[in-house]
């Protein structure tokens, strides 16, 4: 059996429809995407620092990602793609939702940013032979139809010596209490139904998928919400949110 069966898809149509309905909310920091805006600085810092270490850059330079081709798969409205472009990266933002891509294009144009936004999927990009220094799958794997296939197709696009960085939610009782019950039903940070707990991915499951895709996970980082400071921060606690960096030899 072929590892990549013809017609195999990573797209969950229900998830795409859910996020397409929020296309007008992406850039409202006080709207339904407010939690993602608060989360953005910590994931941006993690990507910048991992990239700087891998490609021998000074992370304090405003153009520290210059010359690096980066794919932001499942980019939504471009909340992460834009600051990475400002750091000098050559950005490709991909999302299966046409309405999300349109929102991303309009916002980038308003800010005079050049970002190659495409309404497409990981498998279509991989089939086209696209290659990148860094592939980002941030808050995406818990929304795809087939995690191993998605990770494998993303891994195909990582150049030798490059990175894949993933941020997602762990499948624990703690994540159910905080990310589902707390964030969606009690605090109303997110629309009810934004996440399905059974689709959360444990670090071990993600590392196995990365390994099967020919990558080696070398750094795992937890992220927690500091209520007193009203911000997200890096932590050793991976029970709810975590990020993993993996390399291709």
pLDDT in tens, 158-202: 999 999 999 999 999 999 999 998 888 887 777 787 889 999 999
Span of 96-100, 126-130, 224-228 with lowest mean pLDDT = 224-228
**CA–CA–CA angle 17, 23, 25 (5° rounding):** 130
Does the predicted TM-score (pTM) go above 0.85?
A: yes
pLDDT at position 1: 34
**Taking a C-beta distance cutoff of 8 angstroms, is the pair 71, 132 a contact?**
yes
CB neighbour list of residue 216: distance below 8 Å, 6 or more residues apart: 210, 246, 247, 248, 249
- Give me the percent of the chain exceeding a pLDDT of 90: 84
- pLDDT-derived band at 6 (thresholds 50, 70, 90) equals low
pLDDT band at 2 (very low <50, low <70, confident <90, very high): very low
Provide DSSP, 35-81: HHHHHHHHHHHHHHHHHHHHTT--TTSTTTTTT-EEEEET-TTTTTH
Mind listing the pLDDT tens digit for each residue in 13-30? Answer: 999 998 899 889 999 999
């Amino acid at each position: 059996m072929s590892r990549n069966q013809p017609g195999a898809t990573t797209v969950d149509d229900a998830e795409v429809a859910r996020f397409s309905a929020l296309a007008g909310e992406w850039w409202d920091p006080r709207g339904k995407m407010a939690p993602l805006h608060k989360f953005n600085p910590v994931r941006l810092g993690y990507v910048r620092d991992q990239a700087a270490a891998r490609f021998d850059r000074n992370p304090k330079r405003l153009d520290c990602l210059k010359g690096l081709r980066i794919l932001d798969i499942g980019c939504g409205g471009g909340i992460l793609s834009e600051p990475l472009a400002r750091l000098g990266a050559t950005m490709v933002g991909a999302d299966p939702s046409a309405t999300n891509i349109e929102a991303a294009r309009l916002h980038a144009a308003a800010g005079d940013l050049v970002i190659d936004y495409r309404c497409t999927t990981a498998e279509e990009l991989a089939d086209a032979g696209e290659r990148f220094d860094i592939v980002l799958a941030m808050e995406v794997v818990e929304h795809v139809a087939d995690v191993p296939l998605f990770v494998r197709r993303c891994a195909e696009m990582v150049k030798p010596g490059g990175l894949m960085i993933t941020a997602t939610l762990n499948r624990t009782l703690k994540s159910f209490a905080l990310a589902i019950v707390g964030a969606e039903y009690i605090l109303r940070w997110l629309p009810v139904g934004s996440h399905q707990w059974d689709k959360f991915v444990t670090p071990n499951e993600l590392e196995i998928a990365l390994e099967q895709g020919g990558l080696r996970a070398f750094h795992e980082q937890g992220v927690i919400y500091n209520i007193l400071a009203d911000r997200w921060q890096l932590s050793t606690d991976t029970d709810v949110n975590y990020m993993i960096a993996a390399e291709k030899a």
